Amino acid sequence: MLELTNILKDHNLKVTPQRLSIFKMLKNTTAHPSAETIYTSIHEEYPTMSLATVYKTLDALVKHGLVQQLNVGEDSYRYDADTLPHPHIKCTSCHKVVDMYRVKSVELLRKEVAEMTQFKLSHEQLYFYGTCPECQNHT
């Protein structure tokens, strides 16, 4: 927890128990939860914390580059504490979102887009969609 406290301090963010809890939850999952999921999972530990506090905290973490916000085509954003560039794939049946780290051509695509458009790229978010193996076995 001390490491997370130091990370927040290093980014000039006020360290609160709620902020630490949200950040810790994101650091310890690969599930890419929504704000509502985060709120539900820590509500028992912090029953007086509002959903608005979760949203404000997530917004601060995103603005300081500690968390990335994912828009995988749902009514709400998902969040990922792994801020290194990597694609994601979403199951269109069960809606889980999975990190894809071993896709080698993303850097090539990034370079090609920069050369083609003459844009100075700041970041990218690449999403794939399909049916996961578990859902394929249920059909």
* pLDDT above 70: percentage of residues in the chain: 99
Give burial (CB, 10 Å; 0-12/13-18/19+) of 6: exposed
Closest CA to 30 of 58, 74, 68, 65: 68
Q: How far apart are CA 97 and CA 106, in angstroms?
A: 18
Q: Which fold would CATH assign to domain 1-82?
A: Arc Repressor Mutant, subunit A (1.10.10)
pLDDT at 139: 65
pLDDT band of 8, cuts 50, 70, 90: very high
pLDDT 10s digits, 46-93:
999 999 999 999 999 999 999 999 999 888 899 999 998 889 999 999
Q: 3-class SS at 70?
A: strand
Q: Is the pLDDT of residue 108 over 90?
A: no
Q: pTM for this one? A: 0.87
Q: Which fold would CATH assign to domain 84-139?
A: Dna Ligase; domain 1 (3.30.1490)
Question: Letter for the amino acid at 58?
Answer: L
Average pLDDT over residues 13-23: 94
Where exactly are the structural domains of the chain?
1-82, 84-139
Chain-wide mean pLDDT for the chain?
93
Could you tell me how many helices (H) and strands (E) the chain has, helices first? 6, 5
pLDDT at 80: 96
Q: How far apart are CA 9 and CA 117, in angstroms?
A: 38
